[in-house]
Structure 1
Amino acid sequence: MGWFSPHSILLISLAALLTLASHSRAEDKASFDGIGLSYFEQTPTEKSDAEFVHYLMPEDDVQSSLTSVLELPPLPELPKPEEAKPAEPKPEEVEKPKEAKKDEKAKEEKPKEEEEDTYGYLEYVPYGQYYHVDYWLGQAKWKNSAELGLNGQTGNTESNSLRVGAKIKREGEGTIFSADIRHLRTSDEDGLTQNNAYVKHKLEWPLKIHKNWSVFEKTDIEYDEFKAFDMRLVFNGGVSYKPYKTDATDWTLSVGSGFSQEYGSPQKGIIPEATLGSELTHQITEKQSFQIKFEFFPAFEANQGYRSVTDASYTIALDHGLSLKLSAEDRYDSTPNNRKRNDLDYACLLIWQF
């Protein structure tokens, strides 16, 4: 039998089929060997070049085109810093003449003086001191003064006259308080010819509806040894209005009502009365000023009469807080009880403001 008999060809074909089948089963088994194993348990297998084609670097021409596409534009050049120039002196740093420096120094010191004067004799904010009125009523401006007048005569007649007084004014944010105290005593060879004193105070509340309107309360206590009464008490209140007010001029009108009562007088009981007033203050020059004040107290009943007080003064400012004052005051009473109706006091006074 030869090599290429039908029987031998059949055997060779069968062997080839078995070989292919075994080879395919081995490949299938190898493809499923990694199932169920972790990444570290799997055996590395060779990969074909086709699987890594996307990791290969592109050709030179492709690479150059990609580089040109992905290349970022160049950064703009920053401007070079300019050389620092010497700073020009400010107007206030320019050297000024000595006179200008003195004026500026005076302007700087002026507010400081005003601030110190704000609290009068204390010269500082008295917060924390419960015994001072500013502790309870807030910050305020104080204007205080004391006055003294002496007159004497010797020779054929001997007489001397003494007049002392003080004024206090406090201007706060919500109230304005003023007080006036005065005592006048005159004597001659026969003894006392004049001895009187009075204490006046006024409290104002400026209204918020208009700065020129305010509500006030006044109390006057008058003592006079040579009148029909020992002491007179006057209390009244009302509304005041400023029809004209500037830095140099202040004019105030007031109207209200109240009562008066005399002690040690033939006139007994309380007398209801109205009150009308006008007060004008004008600053003539930096050192000269005058003041005119008029008060009228008519009783509600005609048989009880009326009273009036007219006060005028002229003041000249001196140095060191001193001033010279010329004043005259007339007090009129329509029911003097067998005494003179008019009392006129005039004086030349030296005033010290503090």
Structure 2
Amino acid sequence: MGWIFPHSILIVSLISLTTLASYSHAADSEDFDGIGLSYFEQSSVDKSDSEFVHYLMPEDDVQSFLTSVLELPPLPELPKPKPEEEKPVEPTPEEVEKPKDAKKDEKPKEEEEDTYGYFDYVPYGQYYHVDYWFGKAKWKNSAELGLNGQTGNTESNSLRVGAKIKREGDATVFSADIRHLRTSDKDGLTQNNAYVKHKLEWPLKIHEKWSLFEKTDVEYDEFKAFDMRLVFNGGVSYKPYKTDATDWTLSIGSGFSQEYGSPQKGIIPEATLGSELTHQITEKQSFQIKFEFFPAFEANQGYRSVTDASYTIALDHGLSLKLSAEDRYDSTPNNRKRNDLDYACLLIWQF
């Protein structure tokens, strides 16, 4: 009997497993009996709604609830940065000092520097104008006039006219001075002379204070021992001191002079030494002192010197008042006076 009980338990277990397997096989066959068949080959047996519950859409209230739950909340709006307030520009001390009307009257620097004398520009084809050949430049032109007269016991009148031209270009500086003096009394002429001077400078690029120069002077005097004197010289000049208000130039060189209609014949080689100082005292006042010394290379041929000083006061409308004095000295006057001193009060018009 002892071996029957284990065998009975084994038999019962096998029967149970067989029953479960047959049940599960039947269930699986029912679940997958439609796989591999077309729509028309599948069975038309209705299935319960419970089998398709996971395919159905939820009710409206359930759907709205799920949507509200799953929807992410909107991000909070960040505060926008405030625009920076523009700070008012503080005026410079120069703008505070200058009135508003003064700015309107001021001209741009370019207009002041880029001038063409009588022309605002150089039209094409005007080859006779110096700027056509040498480019833009700054011009300074002036004309002067002086009249003196006397009547009564002595009758005399004096006339002095002149003009100055200066052209400052990029590569050259050209200046010219023209003057004529005429004085007469009841007996006739007592003074009648004129001269034309010009100077051409080439500033050196190696140093801004150095420059080369060339000068030519033509002098006429009816009451001198000569009819006309020609002076030509050249050399180098140096500016030991230069500011916006002061300009001091020293020059040294050599050349020659020749007198026409004079007892002194031939060409006289000579040296040249010069000094020129210009200073702007105030906005409307300035003075100039110029000295030139011409010693001949041979001692018996003497020497000459010219000293010129002037004081200028600016008026309105481009007019100025000028007080000037010029002394011309010649060590070999040929039986004439060595010194000639000319002084005058002139009215100058700058244009």
Coarse TM-score class (shorter-chain normalised): 0.7 to 0.9
Distance 1:89 1:186, change over 3 A: same
What is the 5 A alignment of 1:114-193? 115-116=111-112, 118-119=114-115, 121-122=117-118, 124-128=120-124, 129-193=126-190
> What residue in structure 1 maps to residue 253 of structure 2?
256
- State the shift of 1:269 in Å: 0.7
> What residue in structure 1 maps to residue 239 of structure 2?
242
- Of 122-131 and 336-345, the range deviating more from structure 2: 122-131
Aligned counterparts of 1:257 and 1:233: Cα–Cα separation in 2: 14
Distance 1:253 1:88, change over 3 A: same
- State the shift of 1:103 in Å: 3.1
Contact in 2 for aligned 1:330/1:345 (Cα 8 Å): yes
The root-mean-square deviation of aligned C-alpha atoms, in Å, is 2.8
Contact in 1 for aligned 2:195/2:218 (Cα 8 Å): yes
Distance 1:81 1:197, change over 3 A: farther
> What residue in structure 2 maps to residue 265 of structure 1?
262
Contact in 1 for aligned 2:116/2:122 (Cα 8 Å): no
Match of 1:348 among 305, 324, 345: 345
- Of 270-279 and 109-118, the range deviating more from structure 2: 109-118
Aligned counterparts of 1:189 and 1:102: Cα–Cα separation in 2: 57
Aligned counterparts of 1:189 and 1:113: Cα–Cα separation in 2: 54
Deviation sequence 1:224-269 (CA, Å, 0-9, x none): 0000111000000000000111111111000000000001111111
Contact in 2 for aligned 1:127/1:134 (Cα 8 Å): no
The share of aligned pairs that are identical, in percent, is 83
Distance 1:343 1:150, change over 3 A: same
Contact in 2 for aligned 1:116/1:123 (Cα 8 Å): no
- State the shift of 1:107 in Å: 3.3
Query: SS of the residue aligned with 1:91?
Result: coil
Distance 1:181 1:290, change over 3 A: same
Distance 1:155 1:90, change over 3 A: same
Match of 2:303 among 303, 306, 310: 306
> What residue in structure 2 maps to residue 285 of structure 1?
282
Query: SS of the residue aligned with 1:106?
Result: helix
Deviation sequence 1:115-142 (CA, Å, 0-9, x none): 1574254352325232211111011111
Query: SS of the residue aligned with 2:131?
Result: helix
> What residue in structure 2 maps to residue 233 of structure 1?
230
Distance 1:82 1:143, change over 3 A: farther
> What residue in structure 2 maps to residue 107 of structure 1?
103
- State the shift of 1:157 in Å: 0.8
Distance 1:79 1:297, change over 3 A: farther
What is the identity, as a one-letter code, of the residue corresponding to 1:217? Answer: E
Contact in 1 for aligned 2:253/2:273 (Cα 8 Å): yes
Contact in 2 for aligned 1:327/1:348 (Cα 8 Å): yes
What is the identity, as a one-letter code, of the residue corresponding to 1:353? Answer: Q
Aligned counterparts of 2:325 and 2:297: Cα–Cα separation in 1: 29
* Consecutive unaligned residues in structure 1, runs of 5 or more: 1-48, 50-76
- State the shift of 1:105 in Å: 5.3
Contact in 2 for aligned 1:120/1:143 (Cα 8 Å): no
What is the identity, as a one-letter code, of the residue corresponding to 2:161? Answer: V
- State the shift of 1:170 in Å: 0.5
Aligned counterparts of 1:79 and 1:107: Cα–Cα separation in 2: 54
Aligned counterparts of 2:322 and 2:98: Cα–Cα separation in 1: 33
Is residue 219 of structure 2 the alignment partner of residue 222 of structure 1?
yes
Contact in 2 for aligned 1:313/1:327 (Cα 8 Å): yes
Aligned residues: 278
> What residue in structure 2 maps to residue 274 of structure 1?
271
* Consecutive unaligned residues in structure 2, runs of 5 or more: 1-35, 37-73
Contact in 2 for aligned 1:120/1:144 (Cα 8 Å): no
TM-score normalised to structure 1 length: 0.72
Distance 1:104 1:130, change over 3 A: farther
Aligned counterparts of 1:81 and 1:210: Cα–Cα separation in 2: 65
Aligned counterparts of 1:78 and 1:130: Cα–Cα separation in 2: 78
